[in-house]
Amino acid sequence: MKLEDSLTQLGRNSPPANSPDEASLERVPNPHADTDYVARFTAPEFTSLCPVTGQPDFAHLVIDYVPDEWLIESKSLKLFLTSFRNHGAFHEDCTVNIGKRLVSCLQPRWLRIGGYWYPRGGIPIDVFWQTGEPPRGIWLPDPGVAPYRGRG
């Protein structure tokens, strides 16, 4: 079977799922599985809904991982993240849920996610989760997201 035959979203008309639970994450073989390196995905316009008020919440997500046998297929990741747009959950739940779903799909050597959330009720909430210590010797750049400063 060819790789293209196993992917259900790439190269196809794929509307976003109605919820994160319905969204499908897909993976592709890592051509450098014998090498430790960091892959980074940045989603500066992530949105979800407040589970209490239904108002939109906005975050800048940074996902770093050291792949093992699998890479995340980026269109499936984009559609998975988009499925949160009508999903009501607290910042902590959204951030950790995304990290855990990626770990379940990929079984990476290491993964971390930073959710830099814009203020709700005047308080920004940043959420960080990782699977453990990063492998020795990898180059792990700073996430590059400044802490929230308001207008000051």
Q: Give the catalytic positions in this structure.
A: 50, 57
Cα Rg, the chain, nearest whole Å: 16
112: tokens are 């971390």
Assess contact for 148 and 118: CB atoms under 8 A.
yes
Cα–Cα distance measured from residue 135 to residue 140, given in angstroms and rounded to the nearest whole number: 10
Q: What's 146's DSSP letter? A: P
Smallest CA-to-CA distance from 39 within 144, 147, 141 is with 141
Cβ neighbours, 10 Å, residue 121: 7
